Amino acid sequence: MTHRRSIHALFLLSSIFLTAAGAQAQPTLTHHQGPDGTVPIQVAPAPWSESQNSNVYSLSSPQDFGGNYGGNSFSPNDSLLGFGLVKRSNHAFDDFISPMTNPLFFEDPRNLTEARAIFANHKVPLAAGGGDVQVYAVQLRARLSENVSLIATKDGYITSSNPLVADGWADIAAGLKFNLLRDTQNQRLLSAGFTFDLPTGEAAPLQGNGHGELHLFMTGARKLGQRVHWISASGFRLPLNTTDESTSSYFSNHLDYQIGQRVYLFSETNWFHWLKSGRDGAIAGVEGFDLINMGSPGVAGNDIVTQAFGVKFKPNGNSELGVAFEFPLTAREDIIDNRLTVDWIIRF
């Protein structure tokens, strides 16, 4: 039954983006007077769409956020810094913002080239020792082609006043993301991918255990009306050593409302479900949420649902600044009393 519910979440996510498309965006007519005085009529691509005759994205109604692409045509295949391998971000979905909570696994479905700095202050319940755990990390994403991105989602340094978690380096995780559906006219996206968590971290902050963890995920987004954006993702965390680490799944949702051109108010909900217990965890019946996989016994069938509210600000077209406050909705908390997350994204 528990496996079935997690699989249903994945099927629900994918079915949303395979339903009939909404109203199609209409092309616009533009007039350009030629040297001979004639006025030919040209059909321009719809807003946020690809040109029919070239590889250039053209914004019919460009919004200049002060970035280096506002109001200008650019090629999505321009290489970054001229090295050729890493391409610039796909800017056909710039109205969207990236999700903030469940930061290691809730992946943005867009193909992006960016650096994302993250700070999280995680308050631990008294039942798990109390105190605070802070995380300082940087995520990197690189668009390699039209439909493939390299994603580095976990690294950083952990500090703690909790008696069970000491200071030290976190594991490193990286993988690939593949775009499956990209509908620029209706602003719909669907992507899938994987990351692998290498046990390179230190034992003091409860990292480095096991033989690695495979993360399989699907993520999608859709614009609803003029100012509302929805992002949804689901995935499985599959450790290679099921004695040292537990097996789990998640289902995350983001809904935001755009105020003007630069400010977004958003809400996020995350459901974490444990499919199989480990054996070597320090606290029976308690797991480590998203950052830590303790491999605790007695966690199979456990569920934690969290809610978050936050705000994001786009100072220009190349960056996002966000803050979110997250807390559990379920009676079960495990190691989360609440969490404050701050991120800063610089996009290329």
Sign of CA dihedral 247, 335, 176, 255: positive
Confidence (pTM) = 0.80
Task: Collect all residues with Cβ–Cβ distance below 8 Å to 37 and sequence separation of at least 6.
Answer: none
Inter-residue contact 204 to 124 (CB < 8 Å): no
Question: What CA–CA distances, in Å, run from 262 to 61, 63, 110, 112, 227?
Answer: 16, 11, 19, 19, 12
Encoding tokens for residue 296? 């605790």
Question: What CA–CA distances, in Å, run from 206 to 40, 163, 280?
Answer: 68, 12, 12
21 within a domain of the structure (yes/no): no
CATH code for the domain of 319:
2.40.160.40
55 within a domain of the structure (yes/no): no
Per-residue pLDDT tens, the chain, 348 aa: give them.
Answer: 444 444 444 444 444 443 333 333 334 434 444 445 444 434 333 333 333 333 333 333 333 333 344 444 455 566 665 568 899 998 999 999 999 999 999 999 999 999 999 999 999 999 999 999 999 999 999 999 999 999 999 999 999 999 999 999 999 999 999 999 999 999 999 999 999 999 999 999 999 999 999 999 999 999 999 999 999 999 999 999 999 999 999 999 999 999 999 999 999 999 999 999 999 887 899 999 999 999 999 999 999 999 999 999 999 889 999 999 999 999 999 999 999 999 999 999
Encoding tokens for residue 245? 């680490």
Please name which of 194, 184, 122, 117 lies closest in space to residue 151, comparing C-alpha atoms: 194
HSE, side-chain direction, 13 A CA sphere, residue 181:
20
What residue type is 296 in one-letter code? S
29 within a domain of the structure (yes/no): no
237 within a domain of the structure (yes/no): yes
Report the alpha-carbon distance of residue 44 to residue 27 in Å, rounded.
Answer: 6
Q: Domain of residue 147: give its range.
A: 89-347
135 within a domain of the structure (yes/no): yes
Instruction: Domain count for the chain, please give it.
Output: 1
Please name which of 308, 303, 271 lies closest in space to residue 287, comparing C-alpha atoms: 303
51 within a domain of the structure (yes/no): no
Report the alpha-carbon distance of residue 105 to residue 138 in Å, rounded.
Answer: 14
Report the alpha-carbon distance of residue 260 to residue 283 in Å, rounded.
Answer: 48
70 within a domain of the structure (yes/no): no
